[in-house]
Amino acid sequence: MRHVKAWVTALAAVLGVSALSGCSVEDVEAFLSSPSDSPSAAEGPAAESSAAARERLDELPVSPAGPMDGYSRDRFPHWITISPGCNTREAVLSRDGENVETDDECRAVSGSWLSPYDGQTWTDAADLDIDHMVPLAEAWRSGAADWSDDRREEFANDMERAQLFAVTNSVNRSKGDQAPDQWMPPLEDYWCTYSVHWIEVKHHYELSVTEEEKATLQETLDGC
């Protein structure tokens, strides 16, 4: 059967935002289905979003990438259980897909997913990875090495900001832990949106950017 209410309840628990506090499961589901500002939308950002992104980019500290000493993906507890039987990965698959059906263990067994990075549509969840917009290793190099474990867990499971996306698995693996000056999505029409999202996440978590990274983001936004 389709467990929509289960993952919506789970997602509400992760978000923990005031806009959703005190809302019923139905309220949260309606909120997520609204087309206004959904971070999973593949369309380009509005002009004001690009302008706001430029301002936020200018506020980010610029510094060379930090060392990887001490890094491990385990330092970022991810795909945590957010409700009985459902983890963050499963919630993202349900959020980003169409007509998603899950089994009794919250695993997606059918549905349709449009990967925003390459425009490909998939009907098997096995063809998808959940991408961290700002990769864990990149976050470590730009400030997360100094965070608490709780802060790193929040970052790795953040469904409030544009940080987690269901994308074609081979595309996600080609990205690895690279920043925008090293890698951009194959679908060029998504570059503006990608840059806006990248800046949004880095700005919220007060992460730094390198000179090359900032220059690439500025150049991309200039063309939006």
Q: pTM for the full model?
A: 0.82
13: pLDDT strictly greater than 60: no
Residue 84: band (very low, low, confident or very high) from pLDDT cuts 50, 70, 90: confident
What is the per-residue pLDDT for 141? 99
- Contact call for residues 107 and 174 (beta carbons, < 8 A): no
For the chain, the straight-line distance linking the first and the last C-alpha, in angstroms and rounded, comes to 42
**Cα 222 from Cα 54, distance rounded (Å):** 9
20: pLDDT strictly greater than 60: no
**Cα 40 from Cα 38, distance rounded (Å):** 5
Per-residue pLDDT of 190-199, as tens digits, reads 999 999 999 9
The CA–CA distances, whole Å, from 155 to 5, 42, 82, 107, 161 equal 24, 22, 14, 23, 10
E strand or H helix at 222, and its extent? Answer: helix 211-222
**Cα 129 from Cα 140, distance rounded (Å):** 21
- Contact call for residues 45 and 121 (beta carbons, < 8 A): no
15: pLDDT strictly greater than 70: no
Residue 47: band (very low, low, confident or very high) from pLDDT cuts 50, 70, 90: low
What is the per-residue pLDDT for 11? 46
- Contact call for residues 28 and 91 (beta carbons, < 8 A): no
- Contact call for residues 171 and 106 (beta carbons, < 8 A): no
Q: What is the mean pLDDT of residues 69-97?
A: 95
3-class secondary structure, 108: strand
**Cα 10 from Cα 25, distance rounded (Å):** 10
Please state at what angle helix 47-59 crosses helix 191-204, rounded to 10 degrees. Answer: 40
Helices (H) and strands (E) in the chain, counts: 9, 7
**Cα 43 from Cα 108, distance rounded (Å):** 25
170: tokens are: 């081979």
Q: How many domains does the chain have?
A: 1
Per-residue pLDDT of 110-166, as tens digits, reads 999 999 999 999 999 999 999 999 999 999 999 999 999 999 999 999 999 999 999
- Contact call for residues 165 and 133 (beta carbons, < 8 A): yes
161: tokens are: 């900001």
24 vs 37: which has the higher pLDDT = 37
What is the per-residue pLDDT for 24? 34
Name the amino acid, one letter, at 204.
Answer: H
3-class secondary structure, 203: helix
Q: Which domain holds residue 91?
A: 4-222
